[in-house]
Structure 1
Amino acid sequence: MSELSCVAFGAGHGGEGVCLEVNLGPRRILLDCGLSSMAPLEAARERVEQADFLLCSHAHSDHARGLLDFHRAFPQVPIYGSEVTAQLLPLNWLDRPDEVPPHLCQALPWNTPLQLTDDLTLQLWPAGHLPGAACVLLTYTTPQRPYTLFYTGDFFISNSRLVDGLPLESLRGLRPDVLLMEGSAGTARHPHRRQQENQLAQTIYDRLQGGRSVLLPVPTLGQGQELVMLLRSHHQFTGKDVTVWVDATVAAGCDHYLELLPYLPSSVQNFARHQPLFWDERVRPRIRRLAPGEMPTGSAPAIVLGYREADLSRYCQDPDHPWTVLLPEAFASHLATAVLAAPESEAGSTLAWLQTLAPDLDTGRVQLDTYLLTTHSDAVGTTQLIHNLRPQHVAFVHGSPSHLADLAGLEELQTRYQLHLPSVGKRVEFPIGDRFLQPAAPDPLFEGEITAVDDSVLLLLSDRLTADPRWRTLADTGLVQARWQGDELVIKGLTQRDLLRQVDPEDRPEQPDSCQRCRHFQGGRCRGNASPLYGMQVSPDGYCTVFVRRPGSSDLPLTTEDPDDEALA
């Protein structure tokens, strides 16, 4: 067995929580416990009992809801997390607060290497995404060499309203042997965070102006507090005669944030010096809490933030106003997929209360709509973090299997790293050499002949080409695409995935913010010394944030983050 390996008790596929077991030599560490049942851990009790500790990356339920049951089943295994996470974790068990021990999670400081055993150290960095969310570097030291594993948890490079983004600069060049990372966004590219916020604020404002009240189902932590802060501070609502009602469960999360004010960004602390962060009757828009069973009051359309696992249909049955229910795009998509796959599943019942509104949905008195307000990095942020860390192995977890497979299929990653897609119950080995070796992009040369024949061109290459395992992918279709790149003719194989898109690649507009259109792209390599890809052979459709458009290329707008919103490479 290699020094480093991983087994997933929960890989975060669909509605499945995240729970990973990693082995560094004889050391066994558990990462997160978002399981709704202890059955997978009970089945491996002998191994789990020998774990050195469990690290909780952050307090969201899909990473933490199983911790209380885990503590009861395996009380000898210590649980660690950041200081903020330790304080937020009890919000996962508001229905049984008396059962939560006062020191369920032991708090660890940021940016400090901690010697947990004579051969194992741990260091936490903020991961963005949620207050207290942490990424962790585990280092197992042997007489021969140290072995390192980096786990991102859920991460977000951009700044949001209540959380600073992951500090990319401080992680650059860590070169871990293994990178375990979330890939929930797959290869999607998102508009930058401020653009998303402006679009959402405009959507809510338009509904209110149209006489409709707005209902926003949210989890206990994270999205609800971000939305309250957005409505409190966005120019679209500042000074407007609008009331935002927050139900008791989401309000409990807001109250915890108030206790954590010293840990929030300096801009938020400065805001709180001048006016209340959440509950305010004096400054508009007004923010008010709803007691259990209480209904919003007033004649004007209102905004309600409610706990999404509760029955929120009673708000929409208010006869005074029509309602719009706004759902996050990712949550709505996951919900629809879960319902189609298993209508009686837990995910399918999450918003079962919408079924009671079917007559109102048919008449239009209640409308459903979606919005985008991401707290997970998209493909640009994901690849940016990978290229800055420069690991040998990358394992993607936490996301739909198809999205994770899309990430693993990116050429810019395949040519540099050893990629893995862990599945539940299957051990993944990460073989490491005696020293760190950055996998170089393969650059084999196959000499051949090209001849014009009547109305076509014949290309003859050595049969050595078929010895490469990638030949099988090309042979599935037998089709290639050729294009000029300067004075060179570039041949690219077309895969089944390319054909399924049913669009001729020649007719598809090229992305203006790709390496091929960057002035630093020369001879197939990046020559921008500020780029994390400097000196590397890069794919023409790759990307990094130091992109500079080559003169004469397309003038289509870029989709990169503003420098204030994202840590740039």
Structure 2
Amino acid sequence: MEQLQCLPYGVGHADEGICLLVQLGPHRVLLDCGLASVAPLVAERQSAPPVDLVLCTHAHPDHARGLLALHQTYPKLPIYASEVTTHLLSLNWTEVANAQSQLQSQLQSQPIPNFCHALPWRTPVEFFDGLSAELYPAGHLPGAAAFLLTYTSEQRSYSVFYTGDFLLSNSRLVDGLPLEELRGLKPDVLIVEGSYGTARYPHRRQQENQLAERLHRAIAENQSIVLPTPTLGMGQELLMLLRSHHHFTGREVDIWVDGNVALGCDRYLEMLSHFPSTVQNFARHQPLFWDERIRPRVRSLLNLSASDRSKAFAQGQTPCIVITDKESDLGQYCSPNTGEWLLLIPSQPGRMGSVEAAIEHTLGTSPKLRSQIQSGQIAVETYLLGDHCDGTGTTQLIHNLRPQHIVFVHGSPTYLTDLASLEELQNRYHLHTPSAGVQVDLPIGETFLQPAAPESNYEGELTEEEMSISITLPDAITRDPRWQNFADTGLVEARWQGEELVLRGLTQRELLAQHAESASPVALESCEYCRHCRGQRCWNQASPLFGFKVTPEGYCPAFEPAPIVREEFPSEDNPL
């Protein structure tokens, strides 16, 4: 049997990058290189390259930040990506480029070379005898690609499909992964991200509407807003949302963009021909980003002097919105004389831990913020604008591709274990959740014993009393690292999901928030969660579906959320 193996150097746990060595027969292919240090790769083979070629899915740091060091160590090692990704990669090393630019006249240093070669979409490219790769759009980020690797020997062909980060839904600037083109592909191995685990979230467009509504309310309350984001992806998506959503078109609002996010916008503008037709049509009628003529006005802060920057946020002007680097000092915008501010932090399920951890991470970059928050000048909230598939989207991709082996990467170990524990996957596929440095053998066409599913279910007891109920669970559940976040306050929120009762822990921040009694943010606007849906029929006379039988995922403009039942959950500090 030919060799088919995967050796992960990084699997995307916490802040760890993605870096996977896949062996197909005699060929060694590196999928992404998001390592902060390439020492593990170099240590294995100091003279010769550790792989035959490198494929990069997209330009986010956790997939690409190690490529420059790898190229400098092995200049002749071929590195490939989509054409858009080749243009975006250099934004990962802006600090290096700036340092080289300052020293170039003295040391004659060269700028960062364009070392990555572009590959066409949907066209197999043969690199070596029998080894080829084909790129498919993956959604998530402009230029993001999924790779189909094929190795053909004398006996048979072997195939590996690697998604990188992917999203099935269309976003403002990127079309989603074209699932219909991949249906029935049947690769031998699917390497798939599981960033959001088995969690279920509202549709992308609904998330955008919820965020736009929150921004709309903040501006109406005369609050300015600061949105820290990564260099690529989220910041540009937010700009397009603000430019095109009905809450903001024609509104007297200034939007300021700073730092590397502004550089990312400029880089996007150089590649408009690669964007979806809807984006290109928008750009024909008005500028995609920078526009001081049409409201809301969008301007860059990069070229403004310190005095001009201070004038931009002067108190007494209309509220503004600032989009900037997530690592920047946010206190420079929210100075005491600029009125009230709302700091909106993107939540990253499965990556940074709890919402509280995401907030602490952001506040740690700007010590001045803490005193401003305590004084009430700055309010802090989080929002979800997912750029990965949730559990439903991940399983949908899997069932459409129908692989033999599935390797789950990119996400917290608990989230990936949740996916590997799904009975619908356990019964059909060979599942793997590797750790960095642990080789995974992927035998094809041989007897393979499926490992036992990780323990993820806990049996408990329910006691119904006259005025309340009690749920007792074994203490083994507290060993999961997510328990501390769940039991933080000793209070839970309960809601029905079909025939199942779902419990969610309430955080201290939620209890102190002004709208603590609002519906759970994970509730979906569908018939299943509407107060007027009874017996699978709509009983809302204001709805066009009145009297008809409806599906759980149905939706109409007359949706009203069903009331949420809140029950106390026993803890050491709050026993029932």
- Scaled to the shorter chain, the TM-score interval is 0.7 to 0.9
Q: Which amino acid aligns with 2:221?
A: G
Report the counterpart of residue 268 of structure 1 in structure 2.
Answer: 279
Report the counterpart of residue 337 of structure 2 in structure 1.
Answer: 319
* Separation of aligned partners in 2, 1:114 and 1:100: 29
Structure 1 residue corresponding to 2:166, chosen from 155, 163, 167: 155
Q: Which amino acid aligns with 2:334?
A: C
Report the counterpart of residue 238 of structure 2 in structure 1.
Answer: 227
1:215 aligns with 2:233: no
Q: Which amino acid aligns with 2:214?
A: T
* Residue 220 of structure 1: how far off its partner (Å): 0.8
CA contact (8 A) 1:159 1:165 kept: yes
CA contact (8 A) 2:363 2:370 kept: no
1:358 aligns with 2:370: yes
1:59 aligns with 2:59: yes
1:511 aligns with 2:498: yes
Report the counterpart of residue 372 of structure 1 in structure 2.
Answer: 384
* Separation of aligned partners in 1, 2:537 and 2:23: 49
Structure 2 residue corresponding to 1:189, chosen from 200, 211, 214: 200
Structure 1 residue corresponding to 2:415, chosen from 394, 403, 422: 403
* Residue 354 of structure 1: how far off its partner (Å): 3.6
1:309 aligns with 2:320: no
Report the counterpart of residue 283 of structure 1 in structure 2.
Answer: 294
1:424 aligns with 2:436: yes
* Residue 103 of structure 1: how far off its partner (Å): 2.6
* Residue 261 of structure 1: how far off its partner (Å): 0.5
Trace 1:5-154 onto structure 2 (pairs within 5 A): 5-45=5-45, 49-97=49-97, 98=100, 100-154=111-165
Report the counterpart of residue 318 of structure 2 in structure 1.
Answer: 300
* Separation of aligned partners in 1, 2:452 and 2:368: 54
Distance change (3 Å), C-alpha of 1:2 and 1:404: farther
Runs of at least 5 residues in structure 1 that lack an aligned partner in the other structure: 341-346, 443-467, 482-493, 514-546, 563-569
* Separation of aligned partners in 2, 1:47 and 1:416: 43
Report the counterpart of residue 393 of structure 2 in structure 1.
Answer: 381
* Separation of aligned partners in 2, 1:61 and 1:191: 27
CA contact (8 A) 1:82 1:132 kept: yes
Q: Which amino acid aligns with 1:6?
A: C
- Higher mean alpha-carbon deviation, 165-174 vs 350-359, is at 350-359
* Residue 244 of structure 1: how far off its partner (Å): 0.4
* Separation of aligned partners in 2, 1:49 and 1:338: 42
* Separation of aligned partners in 1, 2:30 and 2:321: 41
* Separation of aligned partners in 2, 1:358 and 1:261: 40
Distance change (3 Å), C-alpha of 1:423 and 1:554: farther
SS of structure 2 residue aligned to 1:136? strand
* Residue 351 of structure 1: how far off its partner (Å): 4.5
CA contact (8 A) 1:9 1:20 kept: yes
Q: Which amino acid aligns with 2:328?
A: A
* Residue 253 of structure 1: how far off its partner (Å): 0.5
Q: Which amino acid aligns with 2:73?
A: A
CA contact (8 A) 1:191 1:561 kept: no
* Separation of aligned partners in 1, 2:458 and 2:318: 61
Trace 1:470-549 onto structure 2 (pairs within 5 A): 509=496, 511=498
* Separation of aligned partners in 2, 1:88 and 1:368: 31
Structure 2 residue corresponding to 1:203, chosen from 202, 211, 214: 214
* Residue 422 of structure 1: how far off its partner (Å): 1.2
Q: Which amino acid aligns with 2:415?
A: H
* Residue 355 of structure 1: how far off its partner (Å): 2.7
* Separation of aligned partners in 2, 1:121 and 1:415: 31
CA contact (8 A) 2:133 2:149 kept: yes
CA contact (8 A) 1:120 1:138 kept: yes
Distance change (3 Å), C-alpha of 1:102 and 1:338: farther
Higher relative contact order (CA 8 A, sep 6+): 1
Report the counterpart of residue 4 of structure 1 in structure 2.
Answer: 4
Distance change (3 Å), C-alpha of 1:262 and 1:473: closer
Q: Which amino acid aligns with 1:302?
A: C
- Spell out, residue by residue over 1:287-314, the C-alpha distance to the aligned partner (whole angstroms, 9 max, x if none): 0110265343451111000111221211
- Spell out, residue by residue over 1:80-119, the C-alpha distance to the aligned partner (whole angstroms, 9 max, x if none): 0000000110111112225654331000000001111111
Distance change (3 Å), C-alpha of 1:199 and 1:239: same
Distance change (3 Å), C-alpha of 1:86 and 1:559: farther
* Residue 427 of structure 1: how far off its partner (Å): 0.3
- Spell out, residue by residue over 1:137-168, the C-alpha distance to the aligned partner (whole angstroms, 9 max, x if none): 00011111001000000000000000000000
Trace 1:397-476 onto structure 2 (pairs within 5 A): 397-433=409-445
* Residue 413 of structure 1: how far off its partner (Å): 0.6
- Higher mean alpha-carbon deviation, 92-101 vs 306-315, is at 92-101
Trace 1:324-335 onto structure 2 (pairs within 5 A): 324-330=342-348, 334=352
Between the two proteins, what is the percent identity of the paired residues?
52
Distance change (3 Å), C-alpha of 1:181 and 1:560: farther
Report the counterpart of residue 268 of structure 2 in structure 1.
Answer: 257
* Separation of aligned partners in 1, 2:323 and 2:202: 24
- Higher mean alpha-carbon deviation, 312-321 vs 193-202, is at 312-321
CA contact (8 A) 2:196 2:390 kept: yes
- Higher mean alpha-carbon deviation, 388-397 vs 1-10, is at 1-10
* Residue 318 of structure 1: how far off its partner (Å): 4.3
SS of structure 2 residue aligned to 1:310? coil
Distance change (3 Å), C-alpha of 1:338 and 1:430: farther
* Residue 195 of structure 1: how far off its partner (Å): 0.8
- Spell out, residue by residue over 1:255-306, the C-alpha distance to the aligned partner (whole angstroms, 9 max, x if none): 1111111111100100111111111111110001102653434511110001
* Separation of aligned partners in 2, 1:333 and 1:7: 22
* Separation of aligned partners in 2, 1:204 and 1:508: 27
* Residue 57 of structure 1: how far off its partner (Å): 0.3
* Residue 496 of structure 1: how far off its partner (Å): 7.1
Q: Which amino acid aligns with 1:316?
A: C
* Separation of aligned partners in 2, 1:219 and 1:151: 24
Distance change (3 Å), C-alpha of 1:255 and 1:333: same
SS of structure 2 residue aligned to 1:369? strand
- Spell out, residue by residue over 1:182-223, the C-alpha distance to the aligned partner (whole angstroms, 9 max, x if none): 000001111011111111011111111111110000111000
Aligned alpha-carbon RMSD (Å): 3.6
Q: Which amino acid aligns with 2:385?
A: L
Q: Which amino acid aligns with 1:264?
A: F
Report the counterpart of residue 456 of structure 1 in structure 2.
Answer: none
SS of structure 1 residue aligned to 2:419? helix
- Spell out, residue by residue over 1:35-69, the C-alpha distance to the aligned partner (whole angstroms, 9 max, x if none): 11122222223597141101110000111111111
Tell me the TM-score normalised to structure 1 length. Answer: 0.76
CA contact (8 A) 2:363 2:369 kept: no
Report the counterpart of residue 178 of structure 1 in structure 2.
Answer: 189
* Residue 477 of structure 1: how far off its partner (Å): 7.7
SS of structure 1 residue aligned to 2:139? coil
* Residue 511 of structure 1: how far off its partner (Å): 2.6
